[in-house]
């Protein structure tokens, strides 16, 4: 348990961030992370190469999130935007408007693209790792990433 | 962190990434997810649930696969059978003893006396097991050391720029096919003539095939007849994640990436499935359909293979499929399926696995062949213990390349990224290992490797770094190692069939990266970029003495190079400011390479209103038929509104001619659809991923008809 928690400690912020930015709902993201961590804990003996904990954990999370997304209805009103607390915090930043605009633009990306960009930006994963986690080929992931950023850029230029 | 991801050249996009990253960091992490809380949560929620093994999972997946098969073809459980010798009613194969498996190999060999016999390596299961176990121990030691030291200093150089841009280089052959009096049509843009590559659309001169995506993210295959107007003749629905397809004569091949979890869910939603709900084992399904009757595709076989899809090819009626597989379960020495690749529910023979002396990975690259005329079983299976990430296939050779980004060495010294190479010959679906070797540096992309006249040429980017000790100021003890003196340059290598280095040019374009490369016969071209784009031409006529012939400096850079004819080289890329290097939209260049020592830009065509095209990074997104003098791609830009246009060009009298510009409406079908183009005869087809197809006259650009989803 201690060892597992130690590994978890290093990755949990990015787990939550990626889940939240993918699912666009904080409660769902929190549940997904709990779910995924529980599964990982139960399967921990399967991971012999401890160095791979991070991408292994992430793969479990991505699967959990995808499953939840399918079951969980995708109503627009469930998509959270920016909470008041967050707004307060952000307002101190001079580039608050830009930050929230970027976040909005991100939320408008397609499901798969939110994962790809999220994994890259919040988790710092390499293209090959993302391809591995998502079971996609590397160049597809790369071009989707490029396309997603282009889309965000266009969105922001309006 | 930045260095670990692919490099983004666009300053605006870099800024977006930065802001997004900050926004993420400001996101408060819920209390429940803090480590202490999580510990509690785990303590409360983990009970005596029995652990399920991969095997059980896999069988569920296989059983689900067989159900699918029943629906499609009314054929029973054969899908999970490897040979014809066993069948049982539950769809689950009992574990085969090693003896039985060996027997079946012998039988296979007896049947196949007229073809080259399968190669046998002297690898045993014990050797494999011992190797993985040793590695596991090493890993553990390494991690412990790293954890101890990581508080004191930077331990390891970040793995760098894995994702070199996906531009390209083929032999310049035309992707044109003319057979049986059929009209000319565009084929998939590929690396090697005669070696077909999978794609998301296919065109056989009459029918169009494409992978389509429904609004609920499920996938389907669409077959459309172009004769006498566009008619959808078949649609095969119900896929989760189809990646690519092939059409070879009257066969259709599909690849589907699956997770054991999802396959089990398909079977039922009941509790039994639910409590073994996750395993996270990726596997591939390869569907082979008989499409002699295009209106009624019939499943001939669904192959099931554990692992991730890496790449594939089709030559002379054989499908070659490359997968990667990780090893992370060493619970039992006798449960082979836990640590060797599993194909068709059967663990591989140890004697089909090559364990290199200097193997460094707990992973396999698996090579599988299937005779498309007789897709009942796998023709040959070979694996290498390697974390290879690229294959290059010529008409007779398969090169497997393993990029090794950094050495896990805690010793002072100078290190470089390197690429381990393996050469297998192949014929009629049978693989034979021929050679292996190593070079410094990492390949740029699929087009940066090319074989000609028995020599392999490679353009690579070399990162080198130095490791030095960190000494504790007070105690004088070594507390770790740090990475310094990181350098980057480029090399060109020529290797013989034994994969021995025979010629090289090193130290090119320091601190720059190769953007694109292309080889044709005795000449090679490659592009590097800082502020201006030097297009280097290299004389390779003497394999032992490759020489730089010339260097053309022009503004911008080409991401994709394609030989238009023997004297012309087409570059699709970006224009850039010569002072700042900042990109200013797309551009086309046509280089006159009639004298490789004095290359000239014969014409350029600015597409400044566009700033992105998938074709820059994925050569299959470029439709090109040089015999027809036609090429096209979709480009995206912004001029007050979203511009997404499919552009078609020809090259006439030394100048680019824009033949057509079709505005794409990608949002119309419920998804944001990918768009590809192809042509048959005088008709150009624009294919949307949501199933819409538009036909345009190549003569006057007029819209002829539309097939709506």
Q: Which residue of B has its CA nearest to A110?
A: B672
Count Cβ atoms below 10 Å from residue B235 Cβ, excluding itself: 13
What pLDDT, on a 0 to 100 scale, did the predictor assign at position B8?
Answer: 64
Of B573, B281, B361, nearest in space to A132 by CA: B281
**Average of per-residue pLDDT across A82-101:** 62
Determine contact: A31 vs chain B, CB below 8 A: no
For an interface test with B, the pick among A116, A121, A122 (most B C-beta atoms closer than 10 Å) comes out as A121
Higher pLDDT, B404 or B591: B591
- The half-sphere exposure of B446 on its side-chain side, counting CA atoms within 13 A, is 26
pLDDT confidence of B53, banded at 50, 70, 90?
Answer: very low
Determine contact: A89 vs chain B, CB below 8 A: yes
Residues of B in Cβ contact (< 8 Å) with A147: 612, 614, 636
Any residues with CB less than 8 A from the CB of B646 and at least 6 apart, and which?
B632, B633, B634, B635, B660, B661, B662, B664, B675, B677, B686
In whole angstroms, give the CA distance from residue B134 to residue B359: 12
Residue A79 Cα, gap to closest chain B Cα (Å): 15
CB interface of B with A, residues 361-400, below 8 Å = 362, 389
Instruction: Reply yes or no on whether the pLDDT at B382 is more than 90.
Output: yes
Residues of B in Cβ contact (< 8 Å) with A5: 35, 38-39, 42
Question: Which two structure tokens, joined as six digits, stand for B406?
Answer: 């950094």
**Average of per-residue pLDDT across B152-163:** 35
CA separation (Å) from B705 to B208, B372, B503, B686, B692?
15, 35, 55, 11, 11
Of B577, B640, B588, B573, nearest in space to B11 by CA: B577
Determine contact: A41 vs chain B, CB below 8 A: yes
In whole angstroms, give the CA distance from residue B347 to residue B339: 9
Degrees to nearest 5, angle at CA B596 with B593 and B598: 90
Determine contact: A44 vs chain B, CB below 8 A: no
Of B211, B216, B308, nearest in space to B257 by CA: B308
Q: How many Cβ contacts (< 8 angstroms) between chains A and B?
A: 199
pLDDT confidence of B1, banded at 50, 70, 90?
Answer: very low
In whole angstroms, give the CA distance from residue B246 to residue B288: 9
Nearest to A8 among B12, B38, B362 (CB): B38
CA separation (Å) from A33 to A30, A49, A55, B43?
5, 22, 14, 16
Mean pLDDT of chain B: 80
pLDDT confidence of B310, banded at 50, 70, 90?
Answer: very high
In whole angstroms, give the CA distance from residue A137 to residue B244: 10
Q: From the centroid of its chain, how far is CA B15?
A: 29
Q: B43 exposed, middle or buried (CB, 10 Å; 0-12, 13-18, 19+)?
A: exposed
A142 vs B166: CB contact, 8 Å cut-off? yes
Instruction: Reply yes or no on whether the pLDDT at B167 is more than 80.
Output: no
A149 vs B16: CB contact, 8 Å cut-off? yes
Residues of B in Cβ contact (< 8 Å) with A128: 162-163, 389
Instruction: Reply yes or no on whether the pLDDT at B78 is more than 90.
Output: no
pLDDT tens column, B679-691: 999 999 999 999 9
Overall pTM > 0.80: no
B1 vs A124: CB contact, 8 Å cut-off? yes
Determine contact: B360 vs chain A, CB below 8 A: no
B329 vs A46: CB contact, 8 Å cut-off? yes
Determine contact: B330 vs chain A, CB below 8 A: yes
Highest mean pLDDT among B64-78, B106-120, B187-201: B187-201
**Average of per-residue pLDDT across A89-98:** 60
Residue B398 Cα, gap to closest chain A Cα (Å): 19
Count Cβ atoms below 10 Å from residue B538 Cβ, excluding itself: 23
Degrees to nearest 5, angle at CA A62 with A60 and A64: 70
Q: Bridge partners of B390?
A: B401
Any residues with CB less than 8 A from the CB of B440 and at least 6 apart, and which?
B416, B417, B418, B419, B460, B462, B491
Nearest to A153 among B13, B46, B277 (CB): B13
What pLDDT, on a 0 to 100 scale, did the predictor assign at position A90?
Answer: 54
pLDDT confidence of B212, banded at 50, 70, 90?
Answer: very high
> Tell me, what's the ipTM?
0.85
Q: Bridge partners of B534?
A: B553
């Amino acid at each position: 348990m201690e060892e597992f928690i130690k590994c978890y400690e290093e990755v949990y912020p990015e787990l939550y961030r990626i889940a939240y930015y993918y699912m666009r709902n904080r409660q769902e993201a929190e549940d997904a992370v709990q779910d995924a961590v529980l599964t990982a804990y139960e399967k921990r003996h399967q991971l012999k190469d401890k160095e791979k904990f991070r991408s292994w954990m992430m793969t479990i999370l991505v699967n959990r999130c995808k499953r939840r997304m399918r079951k969980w209805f995708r109503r627009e009103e469930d998509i959270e935007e920016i909470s008041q607390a967050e707004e307060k915090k952000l307002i101190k930043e001079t580039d608050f408007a830009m930050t929230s605009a970027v976040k909005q633009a991100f939320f408008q990306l397609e499901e798969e693209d939110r994962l790809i960009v999220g994994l890259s930006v919040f988790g710092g994963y390499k293209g090959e790792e993302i391809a591995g986690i998502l079971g996609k080929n590397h160049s597809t992931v790369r071009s989707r990433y490029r396309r997603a950023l282009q889309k965000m850029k266009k969105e922001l230029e309006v | 962190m930045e260095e670990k991801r692919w490099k983004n050249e666009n300053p605006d996009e870099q800024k977006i990434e930065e802001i997004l990253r900050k926004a993420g960091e400001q996101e408060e992490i819920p209390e429940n997810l803090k480590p202490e809380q999580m510990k509690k949560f785990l303590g409360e929620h983990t009970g005596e649930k029995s652990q399920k093994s991969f095997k059980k999972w896999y069988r569920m997946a296989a059983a689900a696969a067989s159900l699918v098969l029943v629906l499609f073809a009314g054929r029973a459980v054969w899908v999970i059978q490897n040979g014809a010798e066993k069948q049982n009613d539950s769809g689950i194969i009992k574990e085969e003893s090693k003896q039985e498996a060996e027997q079946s190999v012998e039988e296979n060999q007896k049947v196949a006396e007229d073809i080259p016999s399968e190669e046998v390596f002297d690898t045993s299961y014990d050797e494999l097991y011992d190797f993985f176990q040793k590695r596991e121990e090493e890993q553990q030691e390494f991690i412990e050391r790293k954890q101890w030291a990581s508080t004191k200093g930077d331990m390891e150089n970040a793995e760098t720029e894995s994702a070199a841009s996906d531009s390209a280089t083929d032999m310049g052959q035309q992707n044109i096919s003319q057979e049986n009096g059929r009209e000319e049509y565009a084929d998939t843009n590929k690396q090697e003539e005669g070696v077909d590559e999978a794609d998301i659309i296919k065109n056989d001169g009459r029918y169009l095939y494409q992978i389509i995506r429904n609004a609920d993210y499920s996938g389907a295959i669409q077959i459309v007849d172009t004769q006498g107007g566009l008619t959808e003749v078949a649609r095969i629905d119900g896929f989760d994640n189809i990646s690519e397809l092939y059409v070879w004569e009257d066969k259709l091949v599909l690849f589907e990436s699956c997770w054991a979890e999802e396959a089990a869910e398909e079977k039922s939603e009941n509790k039994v499935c639910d409590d073994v709900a996750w395993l996270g084992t990726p596997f591939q399904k390869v569907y082979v359909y008989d499409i002699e009757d295009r209106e009624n595709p019939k499943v001939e076989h669904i192959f099931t293979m554990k692992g991730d899809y890496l790449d594939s090819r089709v030559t002379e009626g054989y499908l070659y499929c490359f997968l990667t597989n990780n090893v992370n379960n060493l619970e039992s020495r006798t449960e082979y399926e836990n640590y060797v690749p599993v194909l068709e529910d059967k663990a591989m023979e140890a004697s089909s696995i090559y364990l290199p002396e200097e193997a460094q990975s707990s992973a396999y690259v698996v090579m599988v062949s299937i005779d498309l005329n007789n897709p009942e079983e796998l023709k040959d299976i070979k694996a290498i213990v390697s974390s290879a990430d690229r294959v290059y296939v010529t008409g007779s050779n398969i090169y497997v390349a393993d990029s090794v980004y950094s050495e896990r060495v805690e010793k002072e010294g100078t290190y470089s990224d390197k690429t381990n190479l393996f050469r297998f010959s192949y014929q009629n679906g049978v693989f034979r290992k021929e050679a292996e070797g190593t070079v410094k540096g990492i390949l740029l992309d699929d087009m940066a490797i090319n074989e000609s006249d028995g020599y392999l040429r490679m353009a690579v980017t070399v990162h080198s770094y130095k490791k030095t000790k960190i000494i504790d100021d007070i105690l004088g003890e070594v507390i770790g190692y740090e990475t310094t003196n990181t350098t980057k340059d480029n090399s060109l290598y020529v290797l013989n069939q034994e994969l021995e280095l025979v010629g090289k040019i090193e130290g090119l374009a320091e601190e720059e990266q190769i953007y694109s490369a292309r080889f044709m016969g005795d000449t090679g071209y490659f592009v590097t970029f800082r502020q201006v784009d030097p297009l280097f031409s290299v004389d390779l006529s003497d394999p032992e003495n490759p020489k730089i012939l010339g260097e053309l400096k022009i503004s911008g850079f080409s991401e994709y190079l394609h030989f238009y004819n023997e004297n012309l080289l087409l570059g699709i890329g970006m224009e850039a400011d010569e002072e700042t290097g900042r990109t200013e939209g797309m551009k086309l260049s046509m280089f006159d390479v009639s004298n490789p020592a004095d290359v000239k830009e014969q014409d350029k065509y600015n597409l400044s209103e566009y700033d992105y095209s998938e074709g820059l990074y994925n050569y299959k997104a470029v439709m090109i038929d040089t015999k027809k003098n036609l090429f096209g791609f979709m480009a995206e830009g912004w001029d007050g509104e979203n511009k997404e246009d499919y552009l078609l060009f020809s090259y006439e009298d030394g100048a680019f001619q824009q033949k057509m510009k079709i505005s794409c409406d990608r949002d119309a079908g419920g998804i944001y659809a990918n768009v590809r183009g192809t042509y048959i005869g005088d008709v150009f087809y624009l294919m949307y991923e949501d199933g819409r197809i538009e036909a345009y006259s190549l003569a006057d650009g007029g819209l002829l008809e539309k097939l709506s989803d």
